[in-house]
Amino acid sequence: MIKITFPDNKVREYESGINGYDIAKSLSNSLAQEILSISVNDELWDISRPINIDASIKLFKWEQTEGKHAFWHSSAHILAEAIEFYYPGTKFGIGPVIENGFYYDVDLPEGIILTDNDLPKIEQKILELSRTKCVFVREDISKAEALDFFTKKNDPLKLELINELEDGTITLYKQGNFTDLCRGPHLPDSSFIKAVKLLSLAGAYWRGNEKNKQLTRIYGITFPKQKLLEEYLILLEEAKKRDHRKIGKELELFAFSQKVGAGLPLWLPKGAMLRERLEQFLKKVQKKYGYLPVITPHIGQKELYVTSGHYAKYGADSFQPIHTPAEDEEFLLKPMNCPHHCEIYKLKPHSYRDLPIRFAEFGTVYRYEQSGELHGLTRVRSFTQDDAHIFCRPDQLKEEFLKVIDIVLYIFKTLEFKDFTSQISLRDPNNKEKYIGSDENWEKAESAIIEAAAEKGLNTVVELGEAAFYGPKLDFMVKDALGRKWQLGTIQVDYNLPERFELEYMGSDNTKHRPVMIHRAPFGSMERFVAVLIEHTAGKFPLWLTPEQAVILPISEKYNEYAKKVENLLNNCDIRTLIDDRNEKIGKKIRDNELKRIPYLLIVGEKEEQTETIAVRKQSEGDKGSMTIEDFTNLIKKEVDEMLEEHN
RNA sequence: GCCGAUGUAGCUCAGUGGUAGAGCACUUCCUUGGUAAGGAAGGGGUCAUGGGUUCAACUCCCAUCAUUGGCUCCA
């Protein structure tokens, strides 16, 4: 007999050799039906694997990640089996579980190219194989046996993987006609899989290295119930509706032109208005925090970037140099604003009393992103950073970090980004040589960031080895509608540029010292920020930000004149208002303007004209009744003030 | 850059080896309507660009450009 300890610390005795499924069954039949995987002494196991020792266990259902993990992992094997059925001779790479589903990287036989049209038949085969209730059989083998097996199978990719494994830890899983190298765990059999959708095909380099062979990657997702798949597909559709590229086009915020060039966004009037408002908003905050505005050109001499080191590091990936009639003269489009700001700092000597100095600029920069990297407004070749560089003494680092974090948090709060994460990137402690700057400075900077983040109550992840070579950093990330993570704000310490530009200040000891630089951009870039904001709000921007706050809808042409009067009054009160005087019925006008995400619709007809009022309809809430124009302007002002209210 | 897909009217999308279609939008007319689509008529396209095959190409082939899913999830 063995002792099994459950998560609630209850202990029950079972016969040695019992498996997870039977344990679940001993608790309840319905539970047994739902169990997908088990952890035995914190190690994930198949529920069909016999347990011969005293152990503490946890049982996992579909609702738990561990349960989904086993489910999708097994699904990946069935996908592989289906592929091997249609394309014998295929070599298999890896087939891991991902956040939503799984994929398998395969090297198809010479001359076979998969297209989307091939996916349905593979899906059908997967369902067919699932219905046969194929059992997943686990087998422990030696490294030599594993090498032998995959040599016979002629699968060099698996051999490469096995060669990196230690002897004695190798397991195979077999189901039907397919055997795969796999750590597990798996479902007991394939019949759990009731619904499948192969989502997309993509090329993927073996082990993510572009020097390696490109394999075909097949993405898929499976579910234990057809209904869950349907719900998931609806979710995907909903997410697509929030896509900033779609909404940006619908609301005429931005566009691209093939003739202007790929990755070079054109901000249309409404988008530009929105962006300007965001910029004004940040400028006001920055002024309060002691930032000084600067403006620098879009190009700079090549020498500037040689000094900064950007030319050596990014020169090849940037736009080609600009030549002038003067011989040997070369300019670059600026990929960064910092070198220009360093030159401004250098214009005059600084005392320790002057620091920190904070130069801020909405600086447009240009980088030649690879064509395949371009994506809407989130990955472009021309973008504007809400950039600032803080030149400070090392002992001021923490204080400055606290202030920048305050700005970021204020922005996130105002724009209602509640679901964000932050990451502290530190040096790789085992590889200190690859970083510039003294040990002492690094330690100071790293603890300044960690302490500042902790003081502000940030929920942070610390990543060792993720720091830039020139200093540690703190990044803020949010997710877009499709669950993709985007980095927005960033705060980076830099020891490199002050060194390269030989920046100095006079210390209290009357000797020269080197300042530290902080790069920071709370939005990151205006382009990316607006993109994420569009997806976050589904185009329903906050009242203070939206291009048009109210549209006046006359019931008929007879009230156009009164509508004009109302428009003037509201615009005089700085409420951005338009009239929709098309010859359409009121229902039609309401529908169209709701679709344009106008926050307030003001309906005026006979009643309103006579009583000098407007009938107010709020976006997605409906009729709010009639009120005077003065009441309405007060309402708007109050709403805007509340949104922008500063926290302390 | 590489692998797959896509490119037809302002927008969303059908379509065929033999002179191009729908809905919405737009223009005009009727209608003057009270909280998410009133009716009629009309204008609008070098079918991404450049080559090739063919009596004939928007359609088939090749190239280019652009858009798009992916190329970091480690058996």
A344 alpha-carbon distance from chain centroid: 34
Q: How far is the CA of A620 from the C1' of B23 (A)?
A: 25
Annotated catalytic residue within A77, A186, A473, A536 = A473
**Minimal CA–CA distance to A629: which of A570, A577, A544?**
A570
Say yes or no to pLDDT of A548 above 50: yes
**Taking all residues of chain A, what is their mean pLDDT, rounded to a whole number?**
89
Cβ–Cβ under 8 Å, residues A462 and A450: yes
Nucleotide nearest residue A169, measured CA to C1': B75
Annotated catalytic residue within A105, A243, A387, A494 = A387
A277 alpha-carbon distance from chain centroid: 24
How far is Cα A384 from Cα A278, in angstroms, rounded to an integer?
12
How far is Cα A218 from Cα A77, in angstroms, rounded to an integer?
12
- Count the neighbouring beta carbons within 10 Å of the beta carbon of residue A554: 25
Secondary element (H or E) of residue A56: strand A55-60
Annotated catalytic residue within A175, A286, A385, A423 = A385
- Provide the pLDDT for residue A214: 85
Domain at A67-239: CATH code: 3.30.980.10
Q: How far is the CA of A646 from the C1' of B24 (A)?
A: 43
> Nucleotides of chain B within 7 Å of a protein C-beta?
1-5, 11-12, 25-26, 29-38, 65-75
Q: How far is the CA of A216 from the C1' of B75 (A)?
A: 18
Identify any residues that bridge with A180 across adjacent strands, giving them in sequence order.
Answer: A173
Q: How far is the CA of A372 from the C1' of B54 (A)?
A: 36
Residue showing tokens 């019931």: A555
Q: What is the pLDDT of residues A163-211, one digit of tens each?
A: 888 777 788 888 888 888 888 788 888 888 999 998 888 888 888 777 7
Q: What is the pLDDT of residues A387-427, one digit of tens each?
A: 999 999 999 999 999 999 999 999 988 988 888 889 999 98
Is the C-alpha dihedral spanning A376, A378, A380, A385 positive or negative? positive
Residue showing tokens 């948090």: A409
**Minimal CA–CA distance to A35: which of A56, A70, A60, A7?**
A60
Residues ≥6 apart with Cβ < 8 Å to A403: A289
Say yes or no to pLDDT of A29 above 90: no
- Provide the pLDDT for residue A480: 62
Residue A367 appears among annotated catalytic residues: yes
Q: What is the pLDDT of residues A338-384, one digit of tens each?
A: 999 999 999 999 999 998 999 999 999 999 888 888 999 999 999 99
Q: What is the pLDDT of residues A327-336, one digit of tens each?
A: 788 898 999 9
**Minimal CA–CA distance to A331: which of A309, A368, A358, A298?**
A298
Share of chain A above pLDDT 70, in %: 99
Say yes or no to pLDDT of A647 above 70: no
- Count the neighbouring beta carbons within 10 Å of the beta carbon of residue A179: 19
Q: How far is the CA of A270 from the C1' of B28 (A)?
A: 30
- Provide the pLDDT for residue A421: 86
**Minimal CA–CA distance to A387: which of A239, A518, A481?**
A518
**Lookup: tokens for A42:** 């914190």
Phi, psi of A352 (to 5 degrees): -60, -25
Q: Which of residues 58-117 of A touch strand B (CB under 7 A)?
A: 94-99, 113-116
Residue type, A398: K
Residue A69 appears among annotated catalytic residues: no
Q: Is domain A2-61 classified as CATH 3.10.20.30?
A: yes
What is the CATH class of A550-644?
Answer: alpha beta
DSSP A569-623: HHHHTT--EEE---S--HHHHHHHHHHTT-SEEEEE-HHHHHHTEEEEEETTTEE
How far is Cα A504 from Cα A513, in angstroms, rounded to an integer?
5
Residues ≥6 apart with Cβ < 8 Å to A80: A92, A95, A104, A106, A178, A180
Residues ≥6 apart with Cβ < 8 Å to A446: A426, A427, A472
Nucleotide nearest residue A625, measured CA to C1': B35
Q: pLDDT grade, residue A233 (50/70/90)?
A: confident
**Mean pLDDT value of segment A274-290:** 95
- Provide the pLDDT for residue A344: 96
**Domain map (residue ranges) of chain A:** 2-61, 67-239, 254-287+358-537, 550-644
Q: Is domain A254-287+358-537 classified as CATH 3.30.930.10?
A: yes
**Lookup: tokens for A78:** 């069935």
Is the C-alpha dihedral spanning A281, A282, A283, A286 positive or negative? positive
Residue A473 appears among annotated catalytic residues: yes
Annotated catalytic residue within A217, A244, A340, A367 = A367
Q: How far apart are the first and last CA of chain A?
A: 62
Say yes or no to pLDDT of A317 above 80: no
CB of A216 within 7 Å of some strand B atom: yes
How far is Cα A187 from Cα A45, in angstroms, rounded to an integer?
10
**Mean pLDDT value of segment A89-109:** 88
Residue A350 appears among annotated catalytic residues: no
- Provide the pLDDT for residue A482: 58
Nucleotide nearest residue A199, measured CA to C1': B69
- Provide the pLDDT for residue A617: 96
Q: Which of residues 317-346 of A touch strand B (CB under 7 A)?
A: none
**Minimal CA–CA distance to A340: which of A355, A367, A360, A324?**
A360
CB of A183 within 7 Å of some strand B atom: yes
- Provide the pLDDT for residue A483: 63
Residues ≥6 apart with Cβ < 8 Å to A632: A570, A600, A602, A614, A616
Identify any residues that bridge with A98 across adjacent strands, giving them in sequence order.
Answer: A101
Annotated catalytic residue within A68, A186, A340, A389 = A389
Say yes or no to pLDDT of A648 above 50: no
How far is Cα A171 from Cα A421, in angstroms, rounded to an integer?
37
CB of A371 within 7 Å of some strand B atom: yes
Residue A338 appears among annotated catalytic residues: yes
- Provide the pLDDT for residue A338: 93
- Provide the pLDDT for residue A481: 58
Cβ–Cβ under 8 Å, residues A157 and A95: no
Residue A389 appears among annotated catalytic residues: yes
**Mean pLDDT value of segment A530-545:** 92
**Mean pLDDT value of segment A473-481:** 80
Cβ–Cβ under 8 Å, residues A523 and A489: yes
Residue type, A605: G
CB of A375 within 7 Å of some strand B atom: yes
